[in-house]
Amino acid sequence: CKSLSVSGSLTIGNNINNINLTVSGNVTINSGGAFNSGGDGGNALLIGGNLVNDGAFDMNVGAADTDVTFNGASTQTISGVGSLMDFNSLTLTNNPSNFFINRAITVNRDWINNGKTVLGTGIVTLTGTSIIGGSAETNFPNLTVTGTVTQKINTIVSGDFILNSGTYIVNNNSSSSLTINGNYLQSGGLFDFNSGTSGTSTMNLSGNLTNTVATTDSMTTSGSGAPNGQIVFNGSATQN
């Protein structure tokens, strides 16, 4: 369809077939509206325009999930004031335009970015067993982790990186970097510089580092090679 506006309750998917829905323009969930995933999972939603959620957007309903791809040829934006904004997996296709996230969203599975620059003021929370992957490099406006995340490409966080629970793995058998332009805040979980046997994992940090986890192994290198994680404090002002 050219565009989609939801004021009632709309479900994509059933228990018979996997459903693909392609919207070449904007998807809008109005106040009081709900757009949900259904069936037995394996559905796909392709969005060529903006996604505005002032109601409820849930593509991760148990096993009834829908994978979302933003494939527009121009700038795309996620926005709205709806309380529920839950993705199963999120893929950004390659084009020269920017992608803006201007509200809080949750992603249960993989984040795949094939060349888009991600900007905005929102917070992306990775909640499940996830891979950060794609063709070269990805960005987050702010990133919160509560699940198990493996970072397979260089990643830049424009704001704060927050690890509340779970495990964040910077490296997977190759050298990679996590660049944080804001602060590093860890209240739980495990930050793992390496899961393989080779490569050097680097955290470039422009802000402050705060770790309030009581155990001494909240930051580690789990690979069988020599310890190879390094933190580079590169801020232009005083760092703590």
Q: Are 144 and 123 in contact (CB under 8 A)?
A: yes
Angle at 132 between CA 131 and CA 134, to 5 degrees: 115
Per residue in 158-205, pLDDT (tens digit) is 999 999 999 999 876 667 899 999 999 999 999 998 866 667 889 999
| pLDDT score, position 99 | 96
Whether pTM exceeds 0.85? yes
pLDDT, one tens digit per residue, over 27-86 is: 999 999 999 998 877 899 999 999 999 999 999 988 889 999 999 999 999 999 999 999
d(CA 97, CA 63): 33
The pLDDT of residue 196: 66
- C-beta of residue 118 within 8 angstroms of C-beta of residue 163: no
Determine the average pLDDT of the residues in 205-232: 85
226 confidence band (pLDDT: 50, 70, 90): low
CA distance 7 to 9: 7
* CA 107 – CA 91 distance, rounded (Å): 11
In the predicted model, is pLDDT for residue 228 greater than 70? Answer: yes
- The fraction of the chain above a pLDDT of 70, given in percent, is 95
